[in-house]
A and B are shown apart, each in its own frame.
Chain A
């Protein structure tokens, strides 16, 4: 089970909330202060991408952010309900796809451990960070 799970309507105004919650939970879990900025940005990118996919595919639904604290890693999973991957490609315009690519470039540039997958309901981005033992003890 996730330590904290957040579900929000796929709207741009809620992405900031997801960033703030993710950073707060990560800090508490002992993720190093120096990578919190990156984590916040990566979560924001993943959520923005999810919101954009919903809008592009004309789908309502929610974005789910699962924050899981393990012994040595902190996991973040961002899942959308925007439909299968091919629907996104078919409906997307050039400019939107550029922004999508830029968002993914930022995520893969920032996060060492990242995996982008697709299911029947939509896409999912899984990311993880090391928990530094020193701060976890504090």
Chain B
């Protein structure tokens, strides 16, 4: 399965809905999307990962890169994920401390620092 990406705006947040597999082959597409959004002035991102079937360290690297970019503009990058097998990857790499992870897009959109 390939990677699917779609974006929409909710208030001052930009929600990126990701589906499929994020791996060494598809991660560059996600990176391009995040870079483009930040370059266009979207600094508060919500990455919805509910439709993600597979995530590896390349994908994690892209998300960390995205976080770095939005933070340079005092922005935020929040994740939406309820899937245990995906959450486990964030836990073993210690990235649960780096990313705010929410149960739903509504929660992520409503969240403030």
Contact = CB atoms under 8 A, between A and B. Distances in A.
Interface of A: 12-13, 15-16, 19, 37, 40-41, 44-45, 47-48, 51-52, 98-99, 102-103, 105-106, 109-110
Interface stretch (B18-26, B38-46, B74-82, B104-112): B18-26
A19 B22 CA distance: 13
A37 B94 CA distance: 19
Interface of B: 21, 23-25, 54, 56-58, 60-61, 85, 89, 92-93
A83 to B, nearest CB: 19
Contact of A105 (B54, B58, B85, B92): B92
A109 B57 contact: no
A45 B60 CA distance: 12
Contacts of A106: 56-57, 60, 89, 92-93
Interface of A (DSSP majority class):
helix
A15 B57 contact: no
Contact of A48 (B21, B58, B92): B58
Given A15-B24, A48-B24, A48-B56, 10 more contacts: A13-B25, A15-B23, A16-B23, A44-B54, A51-B24, A102-B93, A103-B57, A103-B58, A106-B92, A109-B93
Contacts of B24: 12, 15, 44, 47-48, 51-52
Nearest to B2: A16
A40 B93 CA distance: 17
B72 to A, nearest CB: 16
Contacts of B56: 41, 44-45, 48, 103, 106
B58 A37 contact: no
Contacts of A44: 23-24, 54, 56
A37 B85 contact: yes
Contacts of B23: 12, 15-16, 44, 48
A9 B23 CA distance: 17
Nearest to B85: A37
A98 B60 CA distance: 11
A98 B92 CA distance: 16
